[in-house]
Amino acid sequence: MRKLLTILLAAALAMALLAGCGGTSTDTPPADTTPPADLPTIDRAGNPITAPLSAERIVALSPAVTQTLLHMGLADKIVAIDTNSLIFEGLPADLPTVDMLSPDGELLLTLNADLVLCSSMTGFDGGEPLKPLSDSGICVAAIPSSASIEGIKEDIMFIADIVGQHDEGAEIIAELEAGIQEVRDAIGAAAPKTVYFEIAAAPAAYSFGNGTFLNEMIEIAGGENIFSDMDSWLAVSEEQVIARNPEVIFTNVIYIENSVGEILSRESLADTTAVTEENVYYVDNYSSSLANEYILTAIHQMAEAMHPDLWKNS
């Protein structure tokens, strides 16, 4: 009898132990700390990074990045921006702002951010204004302005992945690609118009050649950049513009009140085809200077200016 009681007590104890640590427990399981497969491990500048598993507090120090974050519906996660991003609608009120070239790293450190997205312009003078943040373990990721539309798409996907919005990023890219194809289909085999695109006005005129996303945009819109035989961003002379005699002139200059009127009134360009026929047009500054999905707006504007019948009927 004593032996039977001992066996029953041992069985009861075993069952109690199983109940305490078995599958019927209501304890919360440990959080999954496995990084998503698409979480970036290097930024767009090639620097190794440790991306946060969940980016909940984001500092955006590039207007192009801020625009894309807003497009992804992440306004509520932005805790600071650069001053150039103040133009965008939909940002939270009273956000701290800093100079994107030389941001106050100590100020940003007080915001408890887990992700900082900046361009290659931050710290361009050789300083390391964001070092206090990276030293504290905050992920600082650089996204240099891409030189091609393909690079822009990769930038968008990088942003999407690092903030946990992979599907949204893929959708934005698909919309951009569809919009570009729509323009190509509308313009078709129309003869391209020769184009001079002025991004800084005379006497310190600036333009661009091959190897830039703007050069690609002109070609998509049905134009041919008069400086496409040259590379990258260019300081140009009016003599060069005159010699190449563009049929169309675009400008995105905003620091002159009437940049189109200023070009039309330049005596030096009076005999160019573009000025003679008054084919001088303003292209939205932000959509033609920020390397993100909104370049499609500028492409549309250029296509309509150069091929109005084809684009308006598309």
Distance separating alpha carbons of residues 260 and 252, to the nearest angstrom: 9
Distance separating alpha carbons of residues 177 and 153, to the nearest angstrom: 9
Tokens 């969940």 belong to residue: 54
Identify the CATH number of the domain defined by range 189-312.
3.40.50.1980
Query: What sign for the dihedral angle of Cα 94, 95, 96, 101?
Result: negative
Q: If you average pLDDT over every residue of the chain, what do you get?
A: 88
Q: Using H for helix, E for strand and C for coil, what is the string for 137-183?
A: CCEEEECCCCCCHHHHHHHHHHHHHHCCCHHHHHHHHHHHHHHHHHH
Q: What is the pLDDT of residue 291?
A: 96
What does the pLDDT look like over 190-243, one tens digit per residue? Answer: 999 999 999 999 999 999 999 999 999 999 999 999 999 999 999 999 999 999
Tally: H helices and E strands in the chain: 13, 11
Domain boundaries, the chain: 58-164, 189-312
| Fold classified for 58-164 | Rossmann fold (3.40.50)
Helix 63-71 to helix 149-162 angle, to the nearest 10 degrees? 60
| pTM strictly above 0.85 | yes
